[in-house]
A = this chain, B = another copy of it.
Amino acid sequence: MAVSTRAVSRAAAGEPAAGKYDTGEAMCPYRLVLEHVTSRWGVLVLIELLDRPHRFSELRRAIGRVSEKMLTQTLQTLERDGLVHRDAKPVIPPRVDYSLTGLGREAAEQVRALADWTTDRMDDVEKARLTYDEARASRTRAS
């Protein structure tokens, strides 16, 4: 039904299922949007759409290893938040194009900046990890 569909959609993209953390206080709304944008697949979708609009299956291939279901859910969440525009052409076979809205482009640029930073600094991170693991290993030997 429509209701359960909405429930699924709201649960998508890393958003908590509204009962799990509902220990009295409500989660502040901006964190929800932030989690949609920074969600596992949300990040990759936004970055991919920043290059150019994509069809559904193009996105699947571009991202790789995302299940059809998760991609659908992620796109629905982002569409609902007004970040992604969905253009379904009434043709056979169906053709649906996804693109960024103005709002979505702003978000995507922030996200891409972060992703670019990550790739740039990747080697620093890996060095840090080696140092950390080294220290841990020697601590283990000492005990």
- Given known pairs A40-B14, A121-B106, the reply for A80 and B114 (CB within 8 Å) is no
Rounded to whole angstroms, the CA-CA distance of A136 and B6 in the bound complex is 9
Q: Tell me whether A125 and B34 are in contact (CB under 8 A).
A: no
A28-83 residues at the B interface, CB under 8 angstroms: 29-31, 33-35, 37-40, 43-44, 65, 79-83
> A117: which B residues are within 8 A, CB to CB?
106-107, 110
A96-138 residues at the B interface, CB under 8 angstroms: 103, 106-107, 110-111, 113-115, 117-119, 121-122, 124-129, 131-133, 136-137
Please tell me the number of chain A residues within 8 Å of chain B, measured between CB atoms.
Answer: 50
Report A90 CB to chain B, min CB distance, Å. 14
Q: Tell me whether B114 and A34 are in contact (CB under 8 A).
A: yes
Oligomeric state, in number of copies?
2
Question: Which of B35, B65, B122 contacts A33, CB < 8 Å?
Answer: B122
Report A2 CB to chain B, min CB distance, Å. 4
Rounded to whole angstroms, the CA-CA distance of A131 and B104 in the bound complex is 16
Report A116 CB to chain B, min CB distance, Å. 9
